[in-house]
Structure 1
């Protein structure tokens, strides 16, 4: 029989990368953490961590057991929620979403959820994908509206992790220019044409993405301003501070004084979807996911410039 506490300790070691930091997080001694891991290894007959002077890393067996630990933790959280619902008599659903995706996709989807499952308690929390996907695995949220760029999602998916990914929509990025800019009349732009321009960016991920594409085009972008809000970034563009790279779904509401121009193919794109627990698609989750799929628009946001 595998001890749940030992799984919890292994999961914390994996999260922190060392016995000492895991011990501090668990309020245990490093020796106690080491003993828990050693006992787990004895019960499995396999090594779960590789120890070195730089810390610890998971072995293939350790990766499997951390996935199991996350599943167990999620099930325990879900069981507690079910017990709480017995007392209240009301079902509930918790949703994590990044800001622009939630603003576009959630209102109509939540209206359908309320119509199909009246009385359901809805909890929404704002979170970026690197935070929201672990929350789904841990059972802290039922649904995460998330995105990734051309690379993989910031988290593991598939049967071994218990996470399912449902694609919702493609979200191409556009260049936003002052409407007096010399290129404002163009119908599309290549990133290389913007090598000499100062930039205003609406999030750190967009900056990393811009720098990667700019490097491929042979230039180092001059970033003059960074914000955590795309609306603010577009306002700075309207004020003449620079130009910006904005996802399609963040191009509303309109701002006077700017033009929005598509990037020539292959355009940088965000891929938006929803993550859920594979084996726990209760009716409220299924209704919400279906509604999100129906509310995922394929719109030509460039036509709104």
Structure 2
């Protein structure tokens, strides 16, 4: 193996491919052609004398050799970026934390945690991005995120199968709830039986990366009637408030429900638990990231949902 002639460009391209999951997405993010990305990957594979990517119909997956190269590439690129900042006279980025989060976390939990951190530690800068679970996990592995706030549901499998395993902490575990219009017949009670959900009109949208409908109560023994489709959870809740249908509500959004929406507990059938988890690479957290993790834990503990 000879990495003496490997360019920083090739390492950056490889990290982008590892994070994006496809050569096409990496090329678009970098402003390169796909053939240029392929050439950079090929140069790394020649140096490693081993394939670094497994080409699949749904994108690419890192091989064992690819995981080794990515881990080292992240270290090298971080050091180069730190050197460039120091030479430019810019402040060190040690006070910056990069956080990824799933869709509904941005309505309540994330703003509360970031606001609390700004009050207690104003020198810490938090940058965030929303993404699907697979995208955020790839970003953790690629070293472009420090922490990822994720939702997990039964059977609570590991977030990925790569080595080393991610360090995952459960911030909260609560039941899934149901949002109904305030004027709906079901709104007369705090608890509804799952059998009463048959024949209802739903507001739902496909989750990222699969065909599962997010917004329909899981396990209904009928083909659901989808009256409206929306990916944004707050849009779903406002459609509920307008009397357009029912939708499920993750615990992180209960306090964000607008007026005109009643939040109910559903009984019967399997108990629909949802976990709010914080994931990171298995290494010591820098102090700014540890402070943000503490703020997220506190905000999650303070969130209330009916049970």
TM-score range, shorter chain: 0.7 to 0.9
1:283 offset after TM fit, Å? 0.9
Q: 1:1-305 residue pairs with structure 2 within 5 A?
A: 1=1, 3=3, 12=17, 15-16=21-22, 25=34, 27=36, 37=45, 40-41=48-49, 63-83=63-83, 86=86, 87-90=89-92, 91-114=95-118, 117-152=121-156, 155-156=159-160, 160-161=163-164, 163-201=166-204, 204=207, 208=213, 213-214=218-219, 217-264=220-267, 266-297=270-301, 299-302=303-306
Give the TM-score normalised by structure 1.
Answer: 0.74
CA 113–226 in structure 1, closer or farther in 2 if over 3 Å, else same? same
2:104 touches 2:252 (CA, 8 Å); kept in 1? yes
Q: Distance in 1 between matches of 2:150 and 2:229?
A: 22
CA deviation map 1:222-260 (0-9, x unaligned): 111011222221222232221111112213334333321
2:217 touches 2:247 (CA, 8 Å); kept in 1? no
CA 55–291 in structure 1, closer or farther in 2 if over 3 Å, else same? closer
1:301 offset after TM fit, Å? 2.3
1:27 offset after TM fit, Å? 0.7
1:147 touches 1:153 (CA, 8 Å); kept in 2? no
1:289 offset after TM fit, Å? 1.0
Q: Distance in 2 between matches of 1:80 and 1:162?
A: 27
1:200 offset after TM fit, Å? 1.0
CA 207–285 in structure 1, closer or farther in 2 if over 3 Å, else same? same
Q: CA RMSD in A?
A: 4.0
Q: Which runs of 5+ in 2 are unaligned?
A: none
Query: Please, which moves more after superposition, 256-265 or 83-92?
Result: 83-92
Aligned residues: 288
Q: Distance in 1 between matches of 2:37 and 2:85?
A: 33
Q: Which runs of 5+ in 1 are unaligned?
A: none
